[in-house]
């Protein structure tokens, strides 16, 4: 199931479909931006090493249909308001991406 998100693209209102990522996409996302280290007590600590990359990748891998090419450069061209709208829906659709 996908959600339609209204954004502005090239000064026109458009709809973008955002849905769940494939499991392999989620693994790739986590593998590329998460660091697992142990502290002095030996406890494991998970850190997101590149928050910007995480946000961009989550949006990119969650978009299922858009009236523009789904590439990172186009994600970066979005207004901050529209990028946040897409991020919020992508986050809601893919909660394990933040684990």
Is pTM beyond 0.75? Reply is yes
User: Cα dist. 37→28, 31, 49, 86 in Å?
Assistant: 19, 14, 11, 31
For residue 26, give every residue at least 6 positions away whose Cβ sits within 8 Å of its Cβ, in sequence order, or none.
61, 94, 96, 97
**Distance (Å, whole) CA 94 – CA 61:** 10
Contact criterion met (CB below 8 Å) for 94 and 20: yes
Structure tokens at 74: 């186009």
Which pLDDT tens digit goes with each residue over 2-44?
999 999 999 999 999 999 999 999 888 888 787 878 888 888 8
């Amino acid at each position: 199931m996908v959600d339609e998100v209204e954004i502005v693209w090239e000064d026109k209102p458009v709809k973008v479909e955002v849905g769940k990522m494939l499991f392999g996409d989620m693994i790739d996302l986590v593998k590329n931006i998460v660091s697992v280290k142990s502290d002095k007590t030996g406890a494991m600590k998970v850190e997101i090493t590149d928050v910007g990359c995480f946000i961009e990748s989550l949006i990119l891998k969650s978009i299922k249909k858009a009236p523009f090419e789904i590439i990172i450069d186009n994600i970066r061209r979005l207004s901050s308001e529209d990028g946040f709208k897409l991020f919020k829906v992508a986050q809601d659709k893919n909660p394990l991406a933040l684990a």
